Amino acid sequence: MDTPDERQLSKNSLDLFILRFDLVQNGEINFDLWLSDISKHFDRTEKRLHTNFEVNFTTDKSEVNKVESYDYVLTKDKENYSMTFSKSQNAFWFETTNYINRDTYAKVVNELIKSAEKNKIKLSTRRIGMRFINNFNCNNPKQISKIFILDIAKILVQRLKQNNISRIICQEEFNFDTCKVRVQYGIINKFYPAVVNNYDLLLDIDSYDDKIQELENLNETIKGINHCAYNAFVSNINSSFLNSLK
């Protein structure tokens, strides 16, 4: 995760990073024009079919309708990231398994904004979310307090004492002035639904702003939710372990 340079981490245990924009408009944006312009910054474009079934009930019968839609996935192979544009979800998002710092997504977002402005595409977002899914190797319960802060470690160790437990996921949600943050932590257990015998740790941070916003405010909002995500990260991590990531 990143924030100002003095707080940037040189190492991380991120499995997945997602920056997602959910739109207010429904079917009003010319995705085809936008995609045609932005695709030149990517290596390839993939069209993915989604099929949903809608069931409508009346007083005397029910009707099932098949609804097909497409997502367009633009991929940059060497940098290992993609942008997905989804008409059915009325959203677009950046995704990577190779997050380093804000530069990982900043150039792509700036190109998106420039392209929208050039093509007179008016964007209004109802939610901008940034999600960091961290996984830490942990060999046994005694190591949990070396990774997580003591309060969290105590909760997880106590829950592990229960017989036949197969997974532990705890969730907390916070409201701040500039954003909201949902934090999930626990032992995901890669052998689930078997009883826990793997102690690798999950820290899943979803930082978001759910106010309606216009195009010109996106960069400032993204900066704010990034800072909130970093603060959530450091407040849940053992200080010695955090220092080893710098």
The domain limits of the chain are: 5-243
Structure-token pair, residue 50: 């989604």
Q: Which amino acid is at 156?
A: L
User: Do 139 and 198 touch, CB atoms closer than 8 A?
Assistant: no
Nearest to 170 by CA among 145, 203, 139: 203
Q: How far apart are CA 157 and CA 186, in angstroms?
A: 10
E-assigned strands of 58-200? 62-76, 81-86, 91-96, 124-136, 168-175, 180-187
Q: Which pLDDT score, from 0 to 100, does residue 48 have?
A: 84
How far is CA 150 from each of CA 145, 157, 158, 246, rounded to the nearest angstrom?
A: 6, 10, 12, 20
pTM for this prediction: 0.88
- For residue 158, what are the contacts with CB-CB under 8 A and spacing of at least 6? none
> The tokens of 187 are what?
């032992």
pLDDT reported for residue 58:
67
* pLDDT under 50: residue ranges of the chain: 1-6
Question: What pLDDT score does 5 carry?
Answer: 46
CA distance 116 to 155: 47
Radius of gyration from C-alpha coordinates of the chain: 21
- Res 1: pLDDT: 47
Of the candidates 203, 149, 209, 151, which has an alpha carbon nearest to the alpha carbon of residue 176?
A: 209
Please provide the average confidence, as pLDDT, over all residues in the chain.
89
219, 212 Cβ separation under 8 angstroms: no
210 — phi, psi (to 5°)? -110, 25
Backbone angles phi, psi at 12, to 5 degrees: -155, 170
CA–CA gap between residue 8 and residue 190 (Å, rounded) = 29
